[in-house]
Amino acid sequence: MATAISMVPISAILVLLVGGQRSWERGYNYANRQIEIEGQAAAAIFGRVGRKSDYDNCQIYDITKSRRDLICGETVEFRYWSNKRNSFIGRDPQSSPGSSGSPTEYARFYLEEGDDEAGVLKVDYGLYPQGSRQRAARSVTIAENVTSVEFRRTRFNSIGHGSVKMKLTLTDPDDGKTITITGAALMRN
């Protein structure tokens, strides 16, 4: 009789442990899906590269919306200086790198359409201007299974700092679920 009574709480505890384990495993697998990892990596790369540029050396192409302080498009190109230390030599430290001298490199983020609905988010790195032959441009795939990407460039009160934002939508090829990742880069001027 005592054994039967003790089995009831033990079986209840086992049911809770098994349910907790399944829930934890489901959450872990969801958070570590390939599209989650690629989306977070794309946002980190976008932010790191975007901070090298300034507002005047950021161009958006394939424009979908345009207002005075907001431009949206499907491709963004950051132009920046390869060596920050050298870009400030002999100039006022308060001035931006864009106030004198030209950028030396560029990074262009864009969506390359795939055979199916999903595409590939890529970034091309190279020397600026693009006609420079010192080093060939290289293309790097950042994320696969990308359904859509939108870049927005904004400026606060038409003066001062602005930002470029990326809205990236990825679709899991296994279950068809989509996620949206956003990233941003604050411009230097």
In this prediction, residue 93 has a pLDDT band, given cuts at 50, 70 and 90, of: very low
Both tokens assigned to 119: 């595409």
pLDDT digits 0-9 by tens, 146-188 = 999 999 988 665 555 678 899 999 998 888 889 999 998 887 6
- Unique residue bearing structure tokens 């290289």: 138
- Give the model's pLDDT for residue 82: 78
- Give the model's pLDDT for residue 117: 74
- Give the model's pLDDT for residue 123: 93
Cβ neighbours of residue 15 under 8 Å, at least 6 residues apart?
Answer: none
Interatomic CA distance for residues 107 and 127, integer angstroms: 9
Helices (H), the chain: 2-31, 34-50, 84-87
In this prediction, residue 16 has a pLDDT band, given cuts at 50, 70 and 90, of: very high
30 or 140, which is more confident?
A: 140
Of 7-21, 32-46, 98-112, least confident by mean pLDDT is: 98-112
| pTM (two decimals) | 0.73
What's at 149, amino acid-wise?
Answer: V
Q: pLDDT at residue 88 above 60?
A: no
Cβ neighbours of residue 57 under 8 Å, at least 6 residues apart?
Answer: 78, 79, 80, 98, 103
140 or 94, which is more confident?
A: 140
- Give the model's pLDDT for residue 102: 82
